[in-house]
Structure 1
Amino acid sequence: MIQEHKWRFLDDMITRTGKSLDDLMNIIVLKENEIRESYSESLDLGRNDLAKMMVLDGVFMIELFRKVGRLINTHQDDPIFRMVWISPFLTRDLLRIENQIPFVVLKTLFEESRTGDHTLQSLILEFFNYMVDRPKEALQNYENLDGKHLLDFFRKSFISTNRKSVDSEATDKPNPSLKLIQPATKLVIAGVKFKANPQADSFLDVKFQNGVLSIPQINMDDFYSSFFLNCMAFEQCYFHCSKDITTYVVFMGCLMNTSTDVSLLSQNKIIENYSYYLEHS
């Protein structure tokens, strides 16, 4: 069904911009080598078939971001927006590691069909912000952020910009010192206090100072569960990538060793959707 919507969204862009499918394919063909080099395995597709696939998938994403951002008109009966199950399905599916296409494809198609002053980066972050609910002002810090693909771009938007480089400290494994972190209940017995930080720009903004462990609030749901799994898969497969998300997941896993630990973090407003976590842990 989604394949049918891809062609429909492509028709919408062609009608609005006057650019044909061949026009868009010819532009993407120029980046064929860069596209093929982005994949770990050789793509068993000819030049035109590869370009058509990139255009179809890329235009669908871009038009989806524009429609949700209200930059272009959306029909009131459009099933993409009328069927309640599709939206959460799409937000997860777009970030699945096996569904990624090179970010350069998205940037190229976006520029060829530009409408208004919005950047591709701002539209992407606004689209996913329905799921992660970050402060709007925080999204302005990533207007010039790049990535290898959509998953990598969104992943990087959570990584602190005060790092020398988001990929400059890549390692094979998460920090070995994480193995020394005790579960939340044992840390409380040792005198550590837990504090939620609801205003944090990123769930990675964990701080420990004067015996207080400050952790940003996070809603443990299907979206974050899927996002974390795909980020960890990417960070482990791509050697030159920092391991920020993997380290965070391992850290939180150390804290939440039992349901009592999870309950403690929930009582301190650090974890929301407590029942979901227990069902999926």
Structure 2
Amino acid sequence: MVVKTGSDLTKEVATSIQSTLESLPPLSSNCCIYRVPENLRRVNEDAYRPLLVSIGPFCYDDPKLVPMKEQKLRYLQSFLIRNNTRNNVDYYVEAVRPWEQVIRQCYVTPVTLSSVTFTEMVLIDAFFIIELFLRAWFHELIDENDRIFNKPRMIVEVTRDLRIEENQLPFFIFKCLYDLAYSSSSGRPSFIDLTYKFFTGKKHTIPQILANVDIKHFVDFLRLCHLPTSPKPRTNRDLKFELSPNVTQLSGVGVKFAMSQSTDLLDIKFSRGILEIPRFVLTDQTESLFRNIMVFEQCHHYFNSYIIDYFAFLNGLINTPKDVEVLVQCGIIENWLGSNEDAANFFKNIFRQTRLNVANFYFSNHCTHLNAYASTQWHRWKAILKHEYFNHPWAVISVIYAVVMLRGRGDRAHRPVDIKQVIAQG
């Protein structure tokens, strides 16, 4: 056994550390596809896991997703035959090769697939999705043997899987290949048009916010679809942060709830005791969709976390099935989960383990105004009067009498008087 001197040991450790440092891959600003943090994954692992189809390297080796590869190859084959490039796959390989390192840099952890395997995966997955989007736009491309569009459950699950943060390819590679295939075609929808139609079902002009921004991937695309047109306000850091009272508490002080006609999810307004909230449709697909958008915001847009802020605000409003019931009755929540308790659990759990940037909270002013309204005694009195005493003409007379008595007693005693007690005595 060779005994090393202190200086030898120092030199060996230093050399090892230096070698490790030199082998570190460079950090890239292209990084935009993230692993789900473990604390979030533990809350609901299924929400972050593809069920049917793998896209990109993170889920590439999942044995449960391998059977879908045959369908991906069939879509690629159809695309090549229809575009007269059946024997020219090398044309697209040559187009992707220069982008290999840039695509790899989009992932938060190193991708260990070989260059051949990685390039093949990118091409097969990208053309599968391009063909999928083309068939969604041009229904005449769907033949009777299509295993996705002719099986309703399949298209639902494929759509869901394309909204998973860990199941992404960078958006630019789809656009690159699509534009390469249809560079000389006039009148054909752009790839952004195809994407918008696939995820929203709409063919009309896409929102301006999507036309002038660098879209990272499909989760980013879906987040952008929900962003407001106005910039996010800065919160006064000196203000004490607080969420709003819940629906039941606000109802108790006379706040009314109304469904906004706005299609902007974040377009919530509070004025003159009325809280207007756009309709929110709650299905068994909703949780996975918004959880993945929230993961992307947590990792990539922490200082502009609009969707996280939205669910933080609703988390304050909705604590119980009774809160859900009120919002369902006024049309704000369309609940397809079954029970009000299931819906309440959704709003309670979706925000768990999520970090909120309170210094830039989008609904800060809403919460401040709602808390101020709820703490005003006069609003509470008005709610009591309306609920308990204005249901009958004779009750109105009793209230008028009570107000006169209150004024007289208050002037004499210079102390507060219980209005309910006076009415009862009257």
TM-score, with normalisation over the residues of structure 1?
0.86
Report the secondary structure of 1:58's partner residue.
helix
Partner of 1:80: 148
On the 8 A contact 1:146/1:153 being kept in 2, the answer is: no
On the 8 A contact 1:121/1:144 being kept in 2, the answer is: no
Q: Which of 248, 251, 254 pairs up with 1:191?
A: 254
Report the secondary structure of 2:223's partner residue.
helix
Q: Alpha carbons of 1:43 and 1:72: their partners in 2 closer, same or farther (altered >3 Å)?
A: farther
> Is 1:124 aligned to 2:124, yes or no?
no
Output one character per residue of 1:128-159: Cα deviation in whole Å (capped at 9) or x when no partner: 114xxx7x657343344432111101211210
Q: Alpha carbons of 1:44 and 1:176: their partners in 2 closer, same or farther (altered >3 Å)?
A: farther
- How many residue pairs were aligned? 268
Partner of 2:84: 18
On the 8 A contact 2:282/2:337 being kept in 1, the answer is: no
Partner of 1:149: 217
Distance (whole Å) between structure 1 residues aligned to residue 181 and residue 285 of structure 2? 29
> Structure 1: which amino acid aligns with 2:276?
S
Distance (whole Å) between structure 2 residues aligned to residue 256 and residue 240 of structure 1? 24
Pairwise CA distance, 1:117: 2.7
> Structure 1: which amino acid aligns with 2:244?
I
On the 8 A contact 2:257/2:275 being kept in 1, the answer is: yes
Pairwise CA distance, 1:275: 4.2
> Is 1:250 aligned to 2:312, yes or no?
yes
Across the aligned residues of Structure 1 and Structure 2, the Cα RMSD in angstroms comes to 2.5
Distance (whole Å) between structure 2 residues aligned to residue 65 and residue 129 of structure 1? 12
Distance (whole Å) between structure 2 residues aligned to residue 143 and residue 42 of structure 1? 31
Greater shift after overlay, 259-268 or 208-217?
208-217
Partner of 2:99: 31
Pairwise CA distance, 1:76: 2.5
Distance (whole Å) between structure 2 residues aligned to residue 200 and residue 86 of structure 1? 32
Output one character per residue of 1:34-70: Cα deviation in whole Å (capped at 9) or x when no partner: 1111111110022222121111111111111110111
Pairwise CA distance, 1:31: 1.0
Pairwise CA distance, 1:220: 0.4
Output one character per residue of 1:9-48: Cα deviation in whole Å (capped at 9) or x when no partner: 1111111223333221221111122111111111002222
Distance (whole Å) between structure 1 residues aligned to residue 142 and residue 225 of structure 2? 28
On the 8 A contact 1:25/1:51 being kept in 2, the answer is: yes
Pairwise CA distance, 1:77: 2.9
Structure showing greater radius of gyration is 2
| Percent of pairs with identical residues | 32
Partner of 1:207: 269
Pairwise CA distance, 1:246: 0.8
> Structure 1: which amino acid aligns with 2:197?
E
Structure 2 portions without partners, runs of 5+? 1-66, 346-426
Distance (whole Å) between structure 2 residues aligned to residue 176 and residue 217 of structure 1? 30
> Structure 2: which amino acid aligns with 1:67?
R
